[in-house]
Amino acid sequence: MMTRLGFHVDWVTLVMRCVCSVTYTVGVNEGVGNLFLLLRGLRQGDPLSSSLLNDAKRIGIVRGALIGRGRLAINHLFFTDDCVLFGDAIEVRAQNVHYIIKEYKAASGQ
């Protein structure tokens, strides 16, 4: 998918060397179920990662929300299965975030 977004194949190969797929089990009432592998969803190494948003922030496409006395700019928080995006209330920035997500959706088939 990263190559469909325009990343060079050598870069994708290097990134994928750092990625491993994790298997899961679910424990209920002291019993453990069978191993399973997640086939969909955002995982480490997907292009919609913190580095993508950090790059967008660096070139001024998106801007984080300023918080605290030091005026730290935060533009995203990632959780296990969720993502929270922060930004200022400027229409062009919202359109830029929408464009980034739309491009990810088109490339990933989601």
Q: Which of 10-19, 27-36, 45-54, 96-105 comes out lowest in average pLDDT?
A: 45-54
pLDDT at res. 106? 78
How would you write 39-52 as a 3-class SS string?
A: CCCCCCCCCCCHHH
Domain residue limits, the chain: 9-108
pLDDT tens-place string over residues 20-78: 666 666 666 677 777 666 555 555 555 555 666 667 777 877 777 777 777 777 766 76
33 vs 28: CA distance, rounded Å: 8
pLDDT band at residue 16, thresholds of 50, 70 and 90? confident
Confidence grade of residue 99 (pLDDT, cut at 50, 70, 90)? confident
Beta bridge partners of 37: 23
| Cα 69 to Cα 91: distance, rounded to the nearest angstrom | 26
